[in-house]
Chains A and B, each alone.
Chain A
Amino acid sequence: MMNIKIRFKGTYLGFAWAAIEPALTFILLYIVFTSIRSRTEENFAIYLLTGIMIYHIFSRGTLGGITSLTGNRGILQSVKINKEFFPVVSVAATCLLIFIEVGVFFGLMPFFNFIPNWTIVFLPLVLALLVILILGLSYILSVLHVFVKDIQMLWGILIHALFFITPIIWYVKDVSGILLAIHKINPVGHIVELAHKIVVFREVPVLSEWLYALAFSIGIFFVGFMIFIKFQERIVEEI
């Protein structure tokens, strides 16, 4: 809780920034794409918005996760404390962000005459997969950042690249070759696709699609947690 409070303290619009950032990205991209294309796919706006929302939660979540240990250097060096707790706090802050972003998401729908159908009840499940993925990566990234500071720059670049290799501004059916190959192993891409299906295409993803995304999230979570446990004794001295 403190994390969130501190992040927005001293800003005039406070929590509203969590909503403004993705909304502005969306408006900008929507204007650009409707200008360069004579006609767009049905419900392109909602397609774009869904992708941006998931991507934004992921990028904010993992970027916050990276510094969840290093940003609390003082606390770690002055009291004995469970270190596993720090990435979790950072992800809890991300969960609050999710509420705000989902609010914006539904708030913008009427402007495009979009009414979701019942399949949207799966949205919490998709977001849960996203949260597990973010937590797993936060474990890996936070502990790496203690030992190798470069990871923050590197992740910034990867996050930037992720925007283009994830189906946000393009449709999976339209791509082939390298981009499709990358998409197949991109866990965020799979989560975005699940969201597209239940929101925009109004269908229920088949079980294998769920399992694929679940395996990615849980797999990364366990690997992340193991790495964290392995290195945790040395965190405080190296920080």
Chain B
Amino acid sequence: MEEYSVVVQNLSKFFKSSSIKNLNSKFKQKGILALDDISVKVKKGQMLAIIGFNGSGKTTLLRTIAGIYEPDMGSIEVNGRIAPILQIGTGFHLELNAKENIMNYGLLIGIPKKELKSKIDNIIEFAELGEFSELKLKYYSAGMRARLAFSSALQIDADILLVDEILAVGDRIFREKSFEAFSDFIKKGKTILYTTHSLDKIYDMADQVLLLNHGKKIMIGSPNEVIDEYRKMTKD
């Protein structure tokens, strides 16, 4: 199993409907199967792209792999340290500046203080925040927050990156730079799980593409065949 960094087996995740009416219906538990019997394996040094419409379960899958959600059924095996970049800038405090936020965020995901201190300048430099780094985060644009989140997670010496459509708000230069960073990361034998709606990039970057719809695995395979299938679905 060591060659795999993430192994997901028969994973299901159910979200209950929160309406009080449903408390009466004892037999039928109403809600949504956000993930329905998903199995996927990702090898070390590979990138898995996850595509699908909004609400298809992409984020839920990443969150469950990150250990934020508990699986209702099935199992998840993770070999290595995970750096999650889920949702833009959540986990950041708007009243603190970039440096304070990096420290805060890093400590939260379990990076020792010393290690963080030595990397803080690299993070700010990669995010190209420059003079903004002393500014409170409430003055940042969504793109700048995303840069900070992305740079923090990248500099932290993780083995598996979980990236949830975070680059969509970055400008073109930063996106290019991020994809280069992805390549370097992969070359080091590390793993990336990446959800996205921008399909062009994953043609040459992803080793496998997973297509989800309504929580079900529609297809997994090479970028070409899966993206073709997705394009067909879009036309229907």
Contacts and interface: CB of A to CB of B under 8 A. Distances in A.
A65 B68 CA distance: 22
Contacts of A74: 87, 89-92
Contact of B90 (A2, A77, A238): A77
B189 interface: no
A78 B86 contact: yes
A174 interface: no
A233 B84 CA distance: 19
B69 interface: yes
A214 to B, nearest CB: 34
B180 interface: no
Contacts of B96: 2, 5-6, 9
Contacts of B68: 76-80, 236
Contacts of A215: none
Contacts of A5: 96
Contacts of B69: 236-237
B interface, size bucket: 20 to 34
B63 interface: yes
A interface, size bucket: 10 to 19
B1 interface: no
Contacts of A75: 90-91, 108
B109 interface: yes
B67 interface: yes
A170 to B, nearest CB: 41
A78 B89 CA distance: 9
Interface string A1-23: 01001100110000000000000
Interface in A201-239: 233, 236-238
Interface in A45-65: none
A79 B109 CA distance: 6
Interface string A71-99: 00111111111000000000000000000
B66 interface: yes
B176 interface: no
B83 to A, nearest CB: 9
Given A9-B96, A77-B87, 9 more contacts: A2-B93, A74-B90, A75-B90, A78-B86, A78-B90, A79-B109, A80-B67, A236-B68, A236-B69
30 contacts: A2-B93, A2-B96, A2-B104, A5-B96, A6-B93, A6-B95, A9-B96, A10-B95, A74-B87, A74-B91, A74-B92, A75-B91, A76-B68, A77-B63, A77-B68, A77-B87, A78-B68, A78-B84, A78-B86, A78-B91, A79-B66, A79-B68, A79-B84, A80-B66, A80-B68, A80-B84, A233-B70, A236-B68, A236-B69, A237-B15
Interface of B: 15, 18, 63, 66-70, 82, 84-87, 89-93, 95-96, 104, 108-109
